[in-house]
Structure 1
């Protein structure tokens, strides 16, 4: 959020509670120090463990703070009471039903950076020209939140990518379309995982002059498919597979991790050498990636061609067109 604040010309005041301060006392102390002016934007981000209980009648999770707990929705209302112009609370944590806190399992999360150097118009629409509050949970009641060491939290990764895409490409973004896009991107990441791992974000939007509060169950205007990865990321992935200075085991592990995120089993690759309008070969994604792993000595570099590639509705690549530089 520092990058967002700098792009908008806002002063960024960060309060962090971690390690020994990551408890209810530390959180309450941080909340009590917040003193909002009428034009301030307040953003609360929690990453850690969360859960629900059998008797709990609330779709948003309890946040686990070392030895104590607090209610995400209740905390959000405490922050709204500070009367900022816009208050956003994001609980990136599990929301599965537990009767024993000892059943909470480790869920390592990481945050990826945000580049906001291109255009501030979308950021102004979301953060400056908006008044109200937004409450977000990354998992519905009964669900665990997924993460991996490589990208961290699936939801945070998806949310940041949706925001970056909106900044560059979407002049009509709202909090509803942004959160729907984040959900779609997360589901694309989870597509290759078993149903027991899949989870769904949940949110409540209460924006002034924007009609009644919006929830995920209410339809919003459909958006065009958005890539789950940029072409630079795909380029980097393919060229790492072809880099025989790295071990086969290392490159194969990379393929196993990223192939289901970027492609489906039916995805195809159009390959050209000199003219992108005349591909020399059409291969299945499985065959193409296997060739990069086993026999890429003739290939100096691989370049993807965005205008000649097609996306599936979930953002993965249906047809990827590449140039093999030999």
Structure 2
């Protein structure tokens, strides 16, 4: 029996075949705020949706799936960083991090991607990472493809994602294994690089519903499966553009715009060109596709009317937060700050009383909001509720743009320490609304924007007890 041989060739043979036989890994990291009282159901729904996607993706490209969950009691920056430290992808592996929860941005922050609210205590807020910084950290891991998706708010308020109308989750599309496999292979195997996605641009909220989950996640899921049927022109750019289109079809997210950046290179030897693209800005166009300086189409005016209703509803939410003594002081201050962003600089607010001897008084909107917050010194508890929908009149053309009025109906109640009602009033208030093309301070370009104006009493309050 021959016992000799070349040890160098033996080692080389072992290295080649052990490397060749090593399976590639699809690393999926799911970070979900499933303990938040507002988002718990929506986040759980999102986790189910993305888990299904990750299983399908890994199976289609024949990668082993390594899924890590940061949720429940583990939700936080400490656990996320521990998971990121544990992961050591190989050069041909894939990394996909998905976040669903609260998010926000800061006024003077140049990064347009949101900050993830992993820590909610004020003392720990400085530890909250930006989505971009997490993505940068993941890219340094050296995986062939790195994808980061954050479905969260991107505005400076109390960082609470809004909830939309109930929408029954659509039935999943029935696709053949072949069509799914081709779609996922094209998205995950035919490219190398990175994709960074945020569900909302600053300064916008994201929307979610307990039954159907987060709206962007649902749209993303739907468009991945729709894209699998088309096949031919499938690309990340197509998927992300179609997801934005789908997002704009939902009533709750009609005016929301996602944010994404991609740096991808095709892996085929015949086409190694780097493709770089980002989410496009979407100016308002007329029917001929031309941006006009001082004119909007009927459809655009209808859209801005719907946007006005949203802004009035947003203002009402801020009023409820500002007046509530049980809210944290920093949250109430943020509500004041963001309520002021809805108004023209010189806007005023009329206030009155059920007492016929008390004259109606007018305050600058900033002073009115501050006085509203300080009512906690007079009353033990305060509740402001709104009944009926805000009524928005038709737009009227002006020299500089358009104007209209919006009427809302408010019920104010104040209580003493015994829980007894000491003052209550129902009032109707009418606010001016101004629509003009203005320079957007964030984007540094002119955009048609709606701002609220003077608010006056449209109907005397029907009240009792001490005056407000």
Q: Aligned partners of 2:281 and 2:273: how far apart in 1?
A: 14
Q: 2:260 aligns with which of 181, 203, 208?
A: 203
Q: Aligned partners of 1:161 and 1:194: how far apart in 2?
A: 16
Give 1:300's aligned residue. none
Give 1:174's aligned residue. 235
Write out per-residue CA displacement over residues 78-105 of structure 1, whole angstroms, 9 at most, x where no aligned residue. 100001100000001000124xxxx222
Gaps of 5+ in 1: 220-326
Gaps of 5+ in 2: 1-53, 121-126, 266-271, 283-468
Deviation at 1:158, TM superposition (A): 0.6
Deviation at 1:118, TM superposition (A): 4.0
Change beyond 3 A, Cα 1:34–1:194: closer
Change beyond 3 A, Cα 1:84–1:108: farther
1:10 aligns with 2:63: yes
Q: For the aligned residues, what is the CA RMSD? A: 2.5
Q: Aligned partners of 1:129 and 1:17: how far apart in 2?
A: 29
Give 1:121's aligned residue. 182
- Give the 5 Å matches for 1:97-136: 97-98=156-157, 103-105=158-160, 117-119=177-179, 120-136=181-197
The structure with higher relative contact order (CA 8 Å, sep 6+) is 1
Normalised to the residue count of structure 2, the TM-score between the two structures is 0.42
Give 1:138's aligned residue. 199
1:62 aligns with 2:115: yes
Q: Aligned partners of 2:144 and 2:173: how far apart in 1?
A: 23
Deviation at 1:107, TM superposition (A): 5.5
Q: 2:86 aligns with which of 26, 33, 36?
A: 33
CA contact (8 A) 2:148 2:196 kept: yes
Larger Rg: 2
Q: 1:74 aligns with which of 94, 108, 133?
A: 133
Change beyond 3 A, Cα 1:115–1:160: farther
SS in 2 for 1:214: strand
Structure (1 or 2) with the greater strand fraction = 2
Give 2:216's aligned residue. 155
Give 2:152's aligned residue. 93
CA contact (8 A) 1:3 1:114 kept: no
Change beyond 3 A, Cα 1:210–1:114: farther
1:165 aligns with 2:220: no
Q: Aligned partners of 1:93 and 1:218: how far apart in 2?
A: 20
Instruction: Report how many aligned residue pairs link the two structures.
Output: 211
